[in-house]
Amino acid sequence: MKSKLQRVLEVALGRIKPPSDTVREALVFVKDLNRRLAAQGLAAKAMIGGSAAKGTFLRDDYDIDIFVRFDKKTHVQDSLSTLLAKVLSPDAERIHGSRDYFRLRKGYHEFEIIPVLAVKKASEAHNVTDMSPLHATYVKKHLSPQLRDEVRLVKQFCKAIKVYGAESYINGFSGHILDLLIIRYKGFLQLLRAARGWGRSVVIDLEGHHKRPEFSIDRSKRLGPLLLVEPVDAKRNAAAALSREKYDRFIDAARAFLDEPALKYFTVKPLTPARIRKEYEARKAAFTQKTRLFILKSVPHEGKTDVVATKLLKAHEHLARMLAQHDFSVLDSGFEYEKAGYALSYLVVENKRHLPHKEHIGPPTKKTRDAKRFVAKHGTKAYERKGRLYAMVKREHTTPLQVLKQHLKDSYVTERAADMRLVR
């Protein structure tokens, strides 16, 4: 008889594994694109990349990367996007970045068409995207058909617990990180069991590039909790963007799943106001102070998803800072950007009402010049205690709601969000 753990994994994999013919449309697209490249006399070849190339994509994942590899001896970096544009249909959307790429929807699929140089090693790359086909080649070489399914499981697990994606508004586990972790630990459960024992930091060097990676990798690239040396580029930490929060959440979820396996760990539930309130009510008793929940909905300005979503996150963080500046502790918070084009976020705040005035700390009396300025500013409200000046000043806000209502109007917020408001 199968164990509960085995049954859960079988059902989960059955739900997320796609039909074998899923990439058929992509193959047709690549064949046509290569025909057009040849017709233009361009020394370039299109290929499927990403999870579709590695055989680790999930059911209902219709985003497919197409890499167009240009001969590095013939074309310079700055011209690649312009050359590629000549062979794409007019409805291909040009996305600006360190090197422009294109987005095009055909049928069920949304293709991201990325121009790269056909490099054979990291030292030849002009742009980080030039390395992507090398990543795919390495992963395909080291993943058996069984391990590809293990990658699918950990991807879905990470999506369900909200730690999937390397975008700057997520700072989670990228698909590439998860590929490498499965290669390292030889399976989903093995990875979770290892993660259960991870400490403040973990160092993984699959190819043994360094004796001490923590000292060999540039400091700016090893500040995060996971140092995962890129197998095809010994100078790079593949997990440099992973945040402490997402790392810790993965470890907590790994422990919880191993203790009590359940399909909920593979079920992606979008954030909704009702769900936020329900989860808050379930956890409210754990807070030592009285708390209040604030839910916010924000709509971005026009732009690339990664950029505009990051701006909304910064607006959310600004409000948390303003609450702290007005002496209201933020005990918990969360942010999620939805594909529908908006973000939901929440703040769990210490729920108290301040007195109308607070004691403002001034300089030591022995700092004569500063002390005179303080007294001149506060007049008779200034007083001395144990060699330091103080003054009672009127508070701008006495409740957290007043703080949020005021600072939602800040230019810092309005420059980053087309609209941001409290959800009642």
* CATH number of the domain where residue 240 is located: 1.10.1410.30
- Closest to 319 (Cα-Cα) out of 339, 334, 338: 334
One domain for residues 305 and 404: yes
**Residue whose token pair is 């590929």:** 179
One domain for residues 91 and 42: yes
In this prediction, residue 304 carries a pLDDT of 84
One domain for residues 386 and 335: no
- Closest to 170 (Cα-Cα) out of 241, 95, 89, 260: 241
List C-alpha distances in Å: 293 to 319, 334, 349, 397. 14, 11, 6, 18
One domain for residues 292 and 410: yes
The pTM assigned to this predicted structure is 0.86
Judge whether 132 lies within some domain: no
One domain for residues 415 and 311: yes
Burial class (CB in 10 A: 0-12, 13-18, 19+), 3: exposed
In this prediction, residue 75 carries a pLDDT of 60
Q: Which amino acid is at 299?
A: V
One domain for residues 172 and 46: no
One domain for residues 366 and 329: no
Q: Which amino acid is at 19?
A: P
| d(C-alpha 260, C-alpha 8), whole Å | 11
Tell me the CATH number at 100. Answer: 3.30.460.10
Judge whether 2 lies within some domain: no
One domain for residues 331 and 248: no
Rg (CA), the chain: 26
Q: Which of 263, 288, 309 is the last residue before a domain boundary?
A: 263
Judge whether 409 lies within some domain: yes
Judge whether 137 lies within some domain: no
One domain for residues 177 and 40: no
| d(C-alpha 88, C-alpha 27), whole Å | 16
**Residue whose token pair is 């190339």:** 53
Parent domain of 199: 143-263
- Tell me if 28 sits within 8 A of 110, measured CB to CB: no
In this prediction, residue 215 carries a pLDDT of 66
β pairing state of 109-117 and 63-70: parallel
User: Pseudo-torsion of CA 276, 278, 280, 285, nearest 10°?
Assistant: 180
One domain for residues 367 and 233: no
List C-alpha distances in Å: 44 to 38, 81, 91, 292, 347. 8, 12, 21, 58, 50
Judge whether 38 lies within some domain: yes
Instruction: Give the CB-side neighbour count of residue 355, counting CA atoms within 13 A.
Output: 5
Q: Which of 92, 122, 152 is the last residue before a domain boundary?
A: 122
Tell me the CATH number at 373. Answer: 3.30.70
In this prediction, residue 153 carries a pLDDT of 98
- Tell me if 384 sits within 8 A of 365, measured CB to CB: yes
CA 116 to chain centroid: 24
Q: How many domains in the chain?
A: 4
| d(C-alpha 217, C-alpha 228), whole Å | 10
| d(C-alpha 350, C-alpha 403), whole Å | 13
Residue 200, both tokens: 């403040």
Judge whether 131 lies within some domain: no
Residue 249, both tokens: 């959440």
β pairing state of 382-385 and 388-394: antiparallel
**Residue whose token pair is 């995207």:** 129
Q: How many residues does the chain have?
A: 424
Residue 416, both tokens: 């980053």
In this prediction, residue 116 carries a pLDDT of 93
Residue 409, both tokens: 């109007």
One domain for residues 378 and 326: no
Judge whether 85 lies within some domain: yes
Judge whether 15 lies within some domain: no
Task: Give the ranges where 186-286 is alpha helix by DSSP (H).
Answer: 188-195, 213-216, 244-259, 273-283
Q: Which of 263, 281, 299 is the last residue before a domain boundary?
A: 263
**Residue whose token pair is 């979503």:** 309
One domain for residues 204 and 78: no
Residue 96, both tokens: 């600006």
Average pLDDT by stretches of 10, the chain with 424 residues: 90 92 87 94 92 91 90 72 91 88 87 93 86 92 96 97 93 96 98 96 91 72 85 91 95 97 94 93 89 97 91 97 95 90 95 91 92 91 92 92 96 97 92
The secondary structure element, H or E, covering residue 115 is strand 109-117
Strand partners, 67: 47, 114
